[in-house]
Structure 1
Amino acid sequence: MISIKEVAKQTGVTVRTLRHYDQIGLLKPLGKTDGGHRLYGEEEIKKLQGIQFLKTLRFSLADIKELLDEGERDWYKELQNQLNYCIQEKQKLEKMESMLRGLMNEFTIEGKNDLAHIHQLIRMYEDHSNQRERFLQERFSEKEQELLDLLPNMNNGDADTLEWVSLLAQTKKHRNKGVAAVQVQSIIRRMLEKENETYGEDSDFAEKVWEVRKSQEDSEKAGFYPIEEDLIQFIEEATEYFLKGGRQ
């Protein structure tokens, strides 16, 4: 038998925690010294290791006690329940990660996070998944819906999305210089290049996406990141100027 201090040293579990386990009946010591100090044997150490393992799987101490006390308990079912819990928590974290990326990208474009936009993003990614699916099915063919997956997603951190975020941020920065400004025309050129890189010669699809983008209502239904109408109009005017070869 070894002392409680030695158990703590070997396992990394604090003396205070071991005393608590004893008090709640989770892990009783094998015996005590004449001075009242707890002593533990090999079986208690193995049980402690089991407790530590189950804790890493996010079982509560109460559940661990029941699992260890009831030898006939359905372990497979308990592990399945815990796996389901972990999957749900993972989905929540992924959703939070997605929203945080969206807010960070919005900050890159806007230079701030607007509270109204935050609420709009939350509604968009929590409540409108079915509505979005129906809307996209109505507006786009089955083949075109496959292309929709190639659209930049503000809640992702992939290179393409980050470049689109950067291009939008630069557009906002330079739009006061007018559509003919060198900086603006350079941005438009890159936007058109990226559009071609993504969709190739499918200009009809690109036009459909742009028509949806120009409508604030349709953009929200489609789950697109909200862009102000005046910025959309500016991009459209700057694109028209570019396609005309720099002639008004």
Structure 2
Amino acid sequence: MISIKEVAKQTGVTVRTLRHYDHIGLLKPLGKTEGGHRLYGEDEMKKLQGIQFLKTLRFSLAEIKDLLDDNTHDWYMELQNQLNYCINEKQKLEQMESLIRGLMNEFTIEGKNDLSHIQQLIRMYEDNSHERERFRQERFTEKEHELLDLLPNINNGDPDTIEWVSLLAQIKKHMNKGVDSTEIQSIIRRMLEKEKETFGNDPQFSEKLWEVRSSQEESKKAGFYPIEQEVIEFVEEATNFYLKGDK
């Protein structure tokens, strides 16, 4: 038998925790010394390992006690329940990650976070999913749906989305310099390059996509990130200026 202090040293479980386990009947010591110090044997050490393992699976102490005390307990069902719990928690974390990335990208584009705008984005992406899908089915062909999946998502942190966010942020930063400025024309050139890299050489799709993007109403139906009309018109004018000079 080994002392409670030695158990704590070997397992990393504190003396205070071991005393608590004893108090609630989860892990009773094998015996005690004449001075009243708890002693543990091999079986108790194995049980402690089981307790630690079940704790890592997010079982509560009460659930662990029931599982270890009842030899007829349905372990498979308990593990299934715990797996379901982990899946739900994972989904919550993924949603939280998506929202945080959206906030970060929003800040990059706007230079600030507007809570009302963020709430609008959340409603747009969650509440209007059926309307968004219906609109895309009506507006785009089946082949074009595959290209739509390549569009940047404000709530993602992939390199393509980050670059699009950065380009839009730079457009807004340099708008006051005019469509013919070196900075704006450089951004437009990269946007056109990026568009070709992402969607290939499909002018019909690009034109249709821009028609939707140019309309605030259709952009909302399609689930696109909301961009101010003045920015849309500026990008269109700057693009036309670039294409004229590129001929």
Separation in 1, partners of 2:129, 2:63: 36
Match of 1:191 in 2: 191
Match of 1:14 in 2: 14
Match of 1:243 in 2: 243
User: 1:154, CA displacement in angstroms?
Assistant: 1.5
Amino acid aligned to 2:100: L
TM-score by length of 2: 0.95
Separation in 2, partners of 1:126, 1:37: 59
Match of 1:53 in 2: 53
User: 1:246, CA displacement in angstroms?
Assistant: 7.8
Secondary structure of 2:39 counterpart: strand
Amino acid aligned to 2:224: F
Is the 8 Å Cα contact of residues 30 and 40 (structure 1) preserved in structure 2? yes
Residue 133 of structure 2 is aligned to residue 128 of structure 1: no
Q: Which runs of 5+ in 1 are unaligned?
A: none
Aligned-residue RMSD, C-alpha: 1.5
Q: Which runs of 5+ in 2 are unaligned?
A: none
Amino acid aligned to 1:204: Q
Match of 2:80 in 1: 80
Separation in 2, partners of 1:198, 1:34: 77
Amino acid aligned to 1:48: L
Match of 2:180 in 1: 180
Separation in 2, partners of 1:106, 1:97: 14
Separation in 2, partners of 1:83, 1:72: 20
Displaced runs of 4 or more, over 6 A: none
Q: Deviations over 1:113-137 (max 9, x none)?
A: 1112210122133323333222222
Separation in 1, partners of 2:61, 2:126: 33
Q: Deviations over 1:161-209 (max 9, x none)?
A: 1111111111011100111111111111111111111112211111222
Amino acid aligned to 1:197: E
Separation in 1, partners of 2:179, 2:142: 36
Is the 8 Å Cα contact of residues 101 and 154 (structure 1) preserved in structure 2? yes
Q: Deviations over 1:211-232 (max 9, x none)?
A: 2222223323322212111111
Amino acid aligned to 1:112: K
Amino acid aligned to 1:222: A
Flag the 1:38–1:112 CA change in 2: closer, same or farther, 3 A.
Answer: same
Number of equivalences? 247
Amino acid aligned to 2:51: I
More moved, 227-236 vs 204-213: 204-213
Q: Deviations over 1:16-40 (max 9, x none)?
A: 1111111111111111112211111
